[in-house]
Structures are given as C-alpha cells and as structure tokens.
Amino acid sequence: MKKLKLHNEGFRKLVTSFREWLDVLGYAESTVYYLPNHLQEFFYYAEQRGIRHLDGITTRTISEYYETLQRRSNERRSGALSKAYLNKHQQALKKFRDYLRQHGNNRFTIHLKAERNPTEEKTNIPTQAEIKELFMATGYSHDDEHYRLRDKAILTVLYSCGLRRNEAVHLDVSDVLFDRERLYVRKGKNYKERFVPLNGYNLRILEDYIFEGRPEFTDSHMGEALLVSRLGRRLDGTSIALRLKAIVAASENRTIIAKGITPHTLRHSIATHLLQRGVPLESIKTFLGHASLESTQLYTHLLKTLEHENV
C-alpha cells in the first residue's frame, strides 16, 4: 500500500522517532525503512476512527486493525496478503511497543498470534576486537597492494571517522588535512559541514593510501576524489559497500560475517564504542554530525541492549 499521509503531528513525530531508534539500534536498512511505514499505516487507520492520541489506542483497536489487514486483498497479486507481510505488520507494532517501553510508556499492549515464527533481527554491532580483526583482514583482502591500502582507507573513514556512506563517497584528497589532523566533511547530511579528528594511526593509513596506493589506480591523477575506482573515477556507494563485504569475508570469522556489517553499521559501531569509553554525548554528537542531541542519545539504548545481550 502506498504511503498514507498522517494529519496528527504527534503520530508523525512518533514515526520519525521510531525510525531513528531502529536505525541507531543497528537494524537492517530494509527494517528501518519498512517497519516505520507499517506503523504509519496503523496510525492512519487509527486517525480514520477518530483516534488522535496513543491513550486512545486499545487492544481492541489493534485486533480490529489486524483483522482488516487479514481481509485486505493483495495489490500486487491475487488473493490475500501473505503471512510474511502480516507478520511484518505485527513486528512493527511489537517493536514500537519496545520503543515505547524504553521511553517509559508501558501501556501499549499487543495480543496477536503470529502467522508463523518470524526471524527477529538482532543488533549487529561488531565489538572493538572484531573491528581490529577487520583492519587486520585488509592485509589480505585483495591480491593487489593498492586495493588493500584502499580497503584500509575505506575502513578508516567509515569506522574511525564515523562517516556516512555518501560522505565517504564525496571526500576529496584535499579534505585530508594532515597539518591540522582533521578530516573535512563537506557533503554531510543536509549539506552540513564538519571536521573530524584524525589520530596518528589513521593519518598514516590515509597517507599510505594517498601516496602509495591511490596513484596505482588508472588515471587517478585526473580527479580529486579520495576513494577511486579501478579506472580512477570516484568510487560510488555501492562499490564501497561491496569492498566492505570483501573485507568482512576476508576475516573468515563466522561471527563477524553473520552480523551482515554495512557502512552504516560501522558508523553505529564507533558511536557505541566511544560511549563505552566514556566520551560525552555532546562530543559524539559533534563527531557524527547529528543535528540534535536527541538522535545521539539513542545510542545509550543501544549500549544497554548490547550489555544485556552479553550478560
């Protein structure tokens, strides 16, 4: 079903906040996209029945909504909605209940029987030891040395610098400020610029790539891009993600491979690891380029989740 417009500002804010919560917890991109959309569809159903606040949503409201879904025809093929699709709607409501509980609201209850046993996704944040393994894996992630140096540079900008994938794509060589020990991020979210600190170890990685690895890529001297492709063009986001997969595979660590690590996972990882080290939230906010502290505070929930899983 196409995205339905909500008129209630409170419901709209809840959908946005829920999406950010899922994102920070490290769920797959598809989960971060679809579950809030399913929640929005539920809120639309509630609005059509005159409900304007969470307090007006009862167990009966949820049951009747789910019965409506079960009766609804499939827009893409004949017949009813698939059991998998119905379970996704259930998962959205149950995850939203978890979100509310973590924010002090325990009144949102759900009593629905799953159509099947869905596979719940887990947080996939690699540990600091696993991150070290990934850096070690760049020593044999490709047959050619200049590719291995580029792989290590990719890990550095995604994890050590906490960049979003699109920010890494738009880095230029001149953005590595060796004298200031900073990385200039010019293409941040909403076009916000920021400077990210670089320690000596990360500077050496980028220096080795820029002066020893990058020149080996064909026609790399023709452009300004930091991360370049085989033909010297700016490396796109898909290619960066594929190289990360290659690094993960090279580690041959089944636990790491099973986590399905993406560029965004590495951004979550560095934020979580900084929090574990006691770095103030305000500093992490600046480091990540968040517009508000509220987004950064969600990492405290992620840290609690990880600590609970490791008990």
SS3 per residue for 8-37: CHHHHHHHHHHHHHHHHCCCCHHHHHHHHH
Q: Which residues contact 142 (CB under 8 A, 6 or more apart)?
A: 148, 151, 246
Nearest to 266 by CA among 167, 173, 162: 162
Query: For residue 195, which phi and psi values (nearest 5 degrees)?
Result: -115, 130
Phi-psi region of 112 (alpha: psi -120 to 50; beta: other; left: phi over 0): beta
C-alpha separations of 5 from 68, 72, 75, 211, 309 in Å: 19, 19, 19, 52, 37
Rounded CA separation 311/306 (Å): 9
Q: Which residues contact 119 (CB under 8 A, 6 or more apart)?
A: none
End-to-end CA separation in angstroms for the chain: 41
What are the respective helix, strand and coil percentages of the chain, to the nearest 5?
60, 5, 35
The catalytic site residues sit at: 164, 189, 264, 267, 290, 299
Nearest to 199 by CA among 243, 241, 159, 145: 159
8 A C-beta contact, residue 161 and residue 271? no
